[in-house]
Structure 1
Amino acid sequence: MDYYEFKKAWIYPESYIPYSMLRYVVRGSGIFIIDDKQYEVKENQVCYIPEGCRLSCYATGNELVFFSIRFTTTVRINDKDLLTDFYHLQPVLNDTDQIIQQRFAEIYSYAKGDSIAKLFRIRGNLELLIAWVVEQAHAHTECDGTSDGCCASAGSPQENVPEWTWDSSLEASCHRAKKTNRIKRDSRIKMVVDHLVANPSRPFDTKYFCEITGLSDSSLRRLFKEHTGKTPFDFMKELRMVTAARRLLVTNKRVSTIAYELGYNDQNYFARVFKSVFGISPDRYRKEARK
């Protein structure tokens, strides 16, 4: 669980997302690009980002402030994303009463606290959040399918499941199969990715990852590319640059310090790599973002 405050000119380059995310926009506006589809987001909106997608985003106003929760679903049916494929979850939802913002804030508070019951509090609030987004998606589907307006009268649970859930047409099946086949999931590679995301400053230790996954060097690299769409080198480069960009925005650390923390002993080389990802130097990135 994280709370981000980004100023104008913030950019998050396209990256593979190895987990699902829920984001709540507290202030400002921005663009989230999920698998080449662009969504405008603004204050009091919730965005669902499914596991295995490609994500990039940037601020469009003077700032973009949001909560972000990372999670994985334990239930998968035919390797499909449960919330998207079976509950038809909308990518962007409005929180008109700001009740959901309170849920995000509570999760963030417990995540940063030391309560003995924090894990249960976090999980309970997360399940309430997921229940809310599923209900919103269901209500939206009912309204779209009711010619006389919203909403249809309640029936049995199965009657209330959106029709597309049970759609066995060839077109629907091909669409779901294409989406599933695009994402090459491997629990061994997911473990590697999770480790790298949690430790961006550590190098990609091929020998260590081969030992814990039981894969050969060539198999590890091949499966990693299939799983993430990037080589280990490119994945680590982008991960470190995104981490560096966040530290440039939320801390006053010197560029050389941030570079060293992320494993770059040569500040000039770090600056060249940063510019190759964001298009501007670290110093200019910090300056432009804080205007």
Structure 2
Amino acid sequence: MADQSVLQTLRLNYLFSEQYSFPINWTYFESTIPYAMIRLIRKGNATFVIDDTVYQLQKDDIIYIPQGCKLQCEAHTDDFTFISIRFTAAFPSSDIDMWSKLVGYDMKTQCQDPQIIYYFNCIIRERDSSKLGKFLLLRGYLELILAYLIDSSDGSAPERTAKPRTVNTDNKNDNRAQFIVDYMINHYDTALNIEELARMVNVSSTTLRRLFKQHTGKTPSEFLLDLKMMVAAKKIVETNERISDIAYMVGIHDPNYFTRIFKKNFGVTPYTYRERVRGL
């Protein structure tokens, strides 16, 4: 475990957060994760495989997913729900992801503190806030969660003999990409053009694609489509709106295309998703 003076130099960058719900047998095929993640399981059971380690997860488990690892997941119950927070954490003297070395490369914690669960919910609530201090709040809640994980760790997690994981620590790049992320979150239902987005931050469209991919792990079009699907999934579960109307609300005017993309992302049609998550 690192001493306090080392922890004080930690550079933390909140990226994105969302609550997801998936039906039984949902599978996330193995992918390399370009940022760190913390996930709080809210409902159901699932298996997560992080590199070569298998984790069986249940309600109130917190799983730390290191930047640069390989992740695959499978849900074993209907309405498998978790809150996911994406971030990067590094030290000014190095681009190496040393955060993993503080708590072990992978870590699962059964959360015993309702205040920590409250912090996860606060992050989801504040994510869409228009407050000027939004990102200070988001980073503050994230720091409280990370502090809990550090304090809950006994330092015995095995350290892998893996290649060092490199973190992009160019704050200027992150700030420009984060501006576009924020804009997309607030305008997900409109037609967004990459050239117009690039002009907002005074870079070329090619540069924006590169910065955005470094910052989020996705291209702008991939991120925007994922965002539309997340918003749509939430509306499908929480409202009785027609599926075609929800598609229109998120800026997709072809219901058939919406259904195809939704099934590709969630494994089932929007109608089946609504029935399964609601337990109908």
TM-score by length of 2: 0.67
Instruction: Give the 3 Å change call, closer, same or farther, for CA 229–30 of structure 1 in structure 2.
Output: same
Q: Is the 8 A contact 1:30 1:64 kept in 2?
A: yes
In structure 1, the residue corresponding to 2:79 is in which secondary structure? strand
1:200 equivalent in structure 2: 188
Assess, with a 3 A threshold, how the Cα gap between structure 1 residues 273 and 224 changes in structure 2: closer, same or farther.
same
Give the aligned residue type for 1:102.
Q
Deviation of residue 263 (structure 1)? Answer: 0.6
Which secondary structure state, in structure 2, belongs to the residue aligned with residue 175 of structure 1? coil
Q: Is the 8 A contact 1:17 1:51 kept in 2?
A: yes
Cα distance in structure 2, aligned partners of 1:280 and 1:62: 12
Which letter does structure 2 place at the counterpart of 1:272? R
Q: 1:79 to 1:107 in 2, by over 3 A?
A: same
Tell me which of 54, 64, 70 is aligned to 1:48.
64
| Shift, 1:29, TM fit | 0.9
Q: Which amino acid aligns with 1:209?
A: L
Identity %: 33
In structure 1, what is the equivalent of residue 4 of structure 2? Answer: none
Q: Is the 1:8–1:290 Cα contact (8 Å) retained in structure 2? A: no
Asked which structure has the greater CA Rg, the reply is: 1
The structure with more helix, counted as a fraction of residues: 1
| Residue 260 (structure 2) aligns with | 272
Select between 260-269 and 214-223 the one with higher mean Cα deviation: 214-223
> How many Å separate the matches in 2 of 1:124 and 1:248?
31
| 8 Å Cα contact 1:29/1:41 also seen in 2 | yes
CA RMSD of aligned residues (A): 4.3
CA pair 129-225 structure 1, distance change in 2 beyond 3 A:
closer
The count of aligned residue pairs is 255
TM-score by length of 1: 0.65
**1:104 matched to 2:90:** no
Q: Quote the residue 1:61 is aligned against.
A: 77
Task: Note closer, same or farther for the CA distance 1:262–1:123 as it changes in structure 2 (3 Å cut).
Answer: closer
User: How far apart, CA to CA, are the structure 1 residues paired with 2:123 and 2:225?
Assistant: 32
**Contact 1:18/1:193 (<8 A) preserved:** no
Aligned to 2:249: 261
Does the CA contact (< 8 Å) of 1:107 and 1:121 recur in 2? no
Structure 1: gaps of 5 or more residues: 145-163, 165-170
**C-alpha distance in structure 1 between counterparts of 2:215 and 2:45, whole Å:** 31
CA contact (8 A) 1:21 1:68 kept: yes
The CA deviation at 1:194 is 4.4
Name the SS of the counterpart of 1:265 in structure 2: coil
Question: 136, 146, 152: which is aligned to 1:136?
Answer: 152
Among 214, 235, 238, the residue aligned to 1:247 = 235
